[in-house]
Structure 1
Amino acid sequence: MKITTQEDAATRALKALEDSRASVRLRAALAVGSAPDPRFVGKLVERCAIEPEFFVREMLTWALTRHPESMTLPELIRAVRSQRAQARSQALHTLSKIGDRQVWPAITRELLTDADDEVARSAWRAAVLLVPEGAESALAVVLATQLGRGDRETQLSLSRALVALGEAIEPSVRAAAAGPDPRVRAHALATEHLLREPDTGFAFAIEEAKRVVALGPADPTGQ
């Protein structure tokens, strides 16, 4: 009878993950994470791909981190290859939370340069956490190709990712700062500024960088 009760509870939890009410889905994800069960893994990953509420997605990710990596990692690696952008983004986010560097080969250049900003941002965050020792410079080269991309929030995400790699980014970012595109140059200069002075706000750094770019190479000091 005890087994039947456990099976009934699992069935109810899985069904609740599809409830129309976000509060019910949130409680279900909490319950699943509190009592890990291999039967939940596929459903959790599947739900991550379509869950509309941010706070529920975060609970789904937490629930996945509570399950054995031997079960979650294969499912998440499959999800990062999905045609659905949210599936890729949330799977990358969850991989970054798990933090197992054996999944590094799954963080491909295609993901780091994904056309969807949310996917790319998730890939950047995962990459700087999972990059193997000695591969930082190669990662910086790829990330630098994205300088100048997107809105202020996207640019801040990229700058933070680059700064997290430390001095390994300097050649790539310096080359971008010397390029012909004003938007790329400004973003690269702002990133360099943050690397040297991490306490400086990004808004200040980017505006200062834009000012330097506008002045042009003839008078970079503004005097």
Structure 2
Amino acid sequence: MLIGDVARRSGVSTRMLRHYDSLGLVRPTGRTSGGYREYSDEDVRRLFQVEGLRSLGLSLRQIARALQGPTCTPAGLVRDLIRWTEERLDRERELLDRLRTVAAAAPTGWADVLRITELITGLDSPSAALRQRSALAPAAEVRVPAELLAGAVLAEADPNVAGALRWALGRADGDALATLTSGARSENVDTRRRAIQAITELTGDEATVVLVDALDDPDPMVRRHAALALGAHGEVAAVPALVDLVIEGGHDVEAAEHLGALATDPARAEQIVSALAEQLAAPTTDSAARSRLTQAILELPRTVAQPVLRRLSRDDDPVVAWTAAAYLEDEDATSR
């Protein structure tokens, strides 16, 4: 079979067939009396083998090794191909993300494209100082996509840079919540912490829903961020978590203040005082936690706090009893 016939039947150009010949990949076993290449059926089968391996992404050099080298095992070569392909896809996904970020910035000219590219490069820098400067000083003329900053927040381990990114995120255009919500559901606890901390600085019903869901997170730091943010916004769903923070200590003063503010609503006051009193009566609550719970009751409106404090003024724990009695005495002196 002459080279033209092979090209028509195989779909491989005559130029490529000559190239294969020069590389020793597919050499015709015969020549006509006129010197033209003549391919046997075995040559054509080898050609299809070469084309099949090319379809898997092998280079011509790799194909030569695969067909001629006894040390080149199919399984090992395929594993290498998988690894190389995954690495290439990662690079292409990164490029695609960058292109989408530039498109989201709605550039009006190449100067805008360059400025948003500089911002992306700065946020990807290994230098924390450069990342922070990039977050704090984006070009004023360029619309910075919130999604870009949200993605950077989720990946940022340096607390100073993270703070700068959250500051910039609050001033960026677009919707960062979808990106942050994905981070809040990550299996990586550090990513969840960063996501929830950023969401606490957002407003709106959708952000509140994500924070309420975070109250059930297995990580105490995630729960704390969510509870304190919800308490500051008057969300009653945070009450059990705020009571837990009072018991645990560390952020008990802030949690008690939020409980006091929530209890100014008569519809919530009984729920809150009951939750605190229940933990005070629990046999597993230690003396230090009972003292913090008593202090939290002092933050509640007088009408709901006094009945509980009168009981506590006779408590077996002297610190609890003294704290309750002192408050009641002050109240009596004030009311005279």
TM-score, normalization by structure 2: 0.50
* Separation in structure 1 between the aligned mates of residue 316 and residue 216 of structure 2, nearest angstrom: 25
Amino acid at match of 1:48: V
Contact 1:80–1:91 (CA under 8 A) maintained in structure 2: yes
Q: Is the 8 A contact 1:99 1:129 kept in 2?
A: no
**1:114 aligns to 2:213 (yes or no):** no
Q: Which residue of 1 aligns with 2:152?
A: 47
Q: Specify the alignment match of 2:262 in structure 1.
A: 165
Matched residue, 2:239: 140
Q: Which amino acid aligns with 1:158?
A: A
Aligned length: 198
Equivalences for residues 1-223 of structure 1 within 5 A: 3-32=109-138, 34=140, 35-38=142-145, 41-68=146-173, 71-109=175-213, 111-131=214-234, 136=236, 138-149=237-248, 152-167=249-264, 168=268, 169-180=272-283, 181-182=285-286, 183-195=288-300, 214-215=317-318, 220-221=321-322
In structure 2, C-alpha distance between the alignment counterparts of 1:213 and 1:102, rounded to whole Å: 46
Distance across 1 between alignment mates of 2:218 and 2:316: 27
Deviations along 1:149-175, one digit per CA (max 9) or x if unpaired, are: 2xx424344334433423432221222
Q: CA deviation at 1:114?
A: 3.4
**Cα distance in 2 for residues equivalent to 1:213 and 1:49:** 49
Tell me the equivalent position of 1:205: none
Query: Are the equivalent residues in 2 in contact too, given 1:143–1:158 (CA < 8 A)?
Result: yes
In the alignment, the residues of structure 1 paired with residue 135 and residue 129 of structure 2 have an alpha-carbon distance, to the nearest angstrom, of 10
Q: Aligned in 2, Cα 1:79/1:161: closer, same or farther, shift over 3 Å?
A: farther
Distance 2:171 2:316 in 1: 48
CA RMSD of aligned residues (A): 3.2
Query: Does the CA contact (< 8 Å) of 1:170 and 1:192 recur in 2?
Result: yes
Tell me the amino acid that sits aligned with residue 201 of structure 2: K
Name the CA distance, whole Å, in 1 between partners of 2:227 and 2:168. 23
Retained in 1: the 8 A contact 2:246–2:253? no
Of 3-12 and 98-107, deviating more is 98-107
Contact 1:19–1:25 under 8 Å retained in 2 = yes
What amino acid does structure 2 have at the position aligned with 1:19? S
Larger Rg: 2
Contact 1:121–1:157 (Cα < 8 Å) also in 2:
no
CA displacement at 1:29 relative to structure 2: 0.6
1:131, distance to aligned residue in structure 2 (A): 5.0
Which runs of structure 1 show a deviation greater than 4 angstroms over 4 or more consecutive aligned residues? none
Structure 1 residues 128 and 58: CA distance shift in structure 2, 3 A: same
Contact kept? 2:155, 2:191, Cα under 8 Å: yes
Q: Scaled by the length of structure 1, what TM-score is found?
A: 0.72
SS at match of 2:252: helix
Match of 1:206 in 2: none
State whether residues 177 and 199 of structure 2, in contact with CA within 8 Å, keep that contact through their aligned partners in structure 1: yes
Evaluate the alpha carbon distance shift between residue 79 and residue 92 of structure 1 in structure 2; reply closer, same or farther with a 3 A threshold.
same
Deviation at 1:2, TM superposition (A): 6.5
CA change 1:178–1:106 in 2 (3 A) is same
Asked which structure has the greater RCO (Cα within 8 Å, sep 6+), the reply is: 1
Whether the 8 Å contact between 1:147 and 1:184 is mirrored in structure 2 is yes
Counterpart AA for 1:91: A
CA contact (8 A) 1:101 1:130 kept: no
Give the Cα separation in 2 of the matches to 1:113 and 1:156: 22
Distance in 2, Cα, partners of 1:117 & 1:213? 31
Seen in structure 2, the aligned counterparts of structure 1 residues 122 and 216 have a Cα distance that, compared at 3 Å, is: closer
What runs of 5+ residues in structure 1 fail to find an aligned partner?
198-208
